[in-house]
Amino acid sequence: MDIHTNIPLKNYTTMRLGGNARFMTEVHTPQEVADVCRNAHAQSLPIFILGGGSNVIVRDEGFAGIVVRNRLTGFDIVSEEPSQTTIKIGAGENWDEVVKRTVDMNLSGIEAMSAIPGTAGAAPVQNVGAYGQEIADTLISLDAYDIQTDRFVTLQASDCGFSYRQSIFRSTSAERYVITSITLRLYKAAPQPPFYKDVQDYFDTNSITIFTPQAIRDAVIIIRTNKLPDPAVTPNTGSFFRNAVIEDWQLADLRKQYPDIPTYDMPDGRFKVPTGWLIEQTGFKGKTLHGMRVHDKNALVLINESAQSYADLAAARNEIIGAVRDQFRITIEQEPLEI
């Protein structure tokens, strides 16, 4: 495997900011994953696993270790049953291509996560979700290399600590595992309403009454295209902020001043508030701050219009977080990982 030095990470991340990686390589097999991790450990080099670069922010100083680009492929049917199909997917597979293949098989479970950039292995890291589905709903298990114990392991979904946009891979076990494959259980039955509001609105507007995985995929792609800029064309990381999650007493307090505040019920009794709505209320929607523009169609998205550095991005981010905190007493959080 080839090791490259002093590589500009802005060329490998969709926000197109940040410094250089001291070393960079690609891995195509589990054995290469183990080899590069063992070598890095022997040299006391930190490791960062990079998929599509669509959910990563790089600081100006860059990364002093080795960036490992995950290119492990595979799409194998593990089992076929009357009502469901189990599929094992290589961590380096393009996520949207995976979704398309499952929809072409008329399988349901991840079709609402269409058009999300990135790789399959990144999906469990932040418990990727969209339009009423999340990876925790269908993931059975994942295979990974455990850097700490120097062995390959299989983690069940229950081991992953999934919650809203969270997992052990972003919290208690950050930097411990290199995911090599994920195994999903998908369903042969047609998707059933109620659907996420945006999807249902699209169906109603277009008089769609026959619900299939393909119908949902088509709807989601159109909705996302209208709301989110393509990171291959316009530098951004998709949703830059997570939606806020608040307690019932906070919501009751906020409704006194904002009776029309939109919310979604969470399984744990808390409430999700669209952070885009919060940012919009502060007046930042469509504004440009330090070279970063708040998207005029979706205030969750920050677009790198003319920013020259991570420092510019951080200044814009902190200004928005501060304004939301001052107005709503809610501290919103950044979605992309940061190195």
Q: Which residue type occupies 135?
A: I
Query: Could you give the CA distance from residue 176 to residue 293 in angstroms, rounded to a whole number?
Result: 35
In this predicted structure, what is the pLDDT of residue 165? 86
Domain boundaries, the chain: 4-70, 75-187, 236-332
Predicted confidence band at 307 (pLDDT cuts at 50, 70, 90)?
Answer: very high
In this predicted structure, what is the pLDDT of residue 227? 87
Rounded to the nearest 10 degrees, how much is the dihedral formed by the CA atoms of 315, 319, 320, 324?
150
| Strands annotated E in the chain | 4-8, 20-27, 47-50, 56-57, 63-70, 75-80, 84-90, 129-130, 133-134, 139-146, 151-156, 177-187, 236-239, 244-246, 264-265, 271-273, 288-289, 292-294, 301-304, 337-338
- What number is the average pLDDT over the span 177-184? 97
Mean pLDDT of the chain: 95
Residue 1 has pLDDT above 80, yes or no: no
Residue 10 has pLDDT above 90, yes or no: yes
- Helix (H) or strand (E) segment spanning residue 217: helix 213-227
In this predicted structure, what is the pLDDT of residue 155? 98
CATH topology of domain 4-70: 3.30.43
In this predicted structure, what is the pLDDT of residue 164? 85
CATH number belonging to domain 236-332: 3.90.78.10
CA 310 to centroid of chain Cα atoms: 20
- What number is the average pLDDT over the span 32-59? 94
Of the options 2.40.50.100, 3.40.50.2300, 3.40.220.10, 3.30.465.10, the CATH number for the domain spanning 75-187 = 3.30.465.10
Query: Could you give the CA distance from residue 76 to residue 194 in angstroms, rounded to a whole number?
Result: 31
Q: 198 near 153, Cβ under 8 Å?
A: no
- Catalytic residues, by residue number, are 165, 239, 335
pTM score of the predicted model: 0.88
- What number is the average pLDDT over the span 165-173? 92
In this predicted structure, what is the pLDDT of residue 266? 86
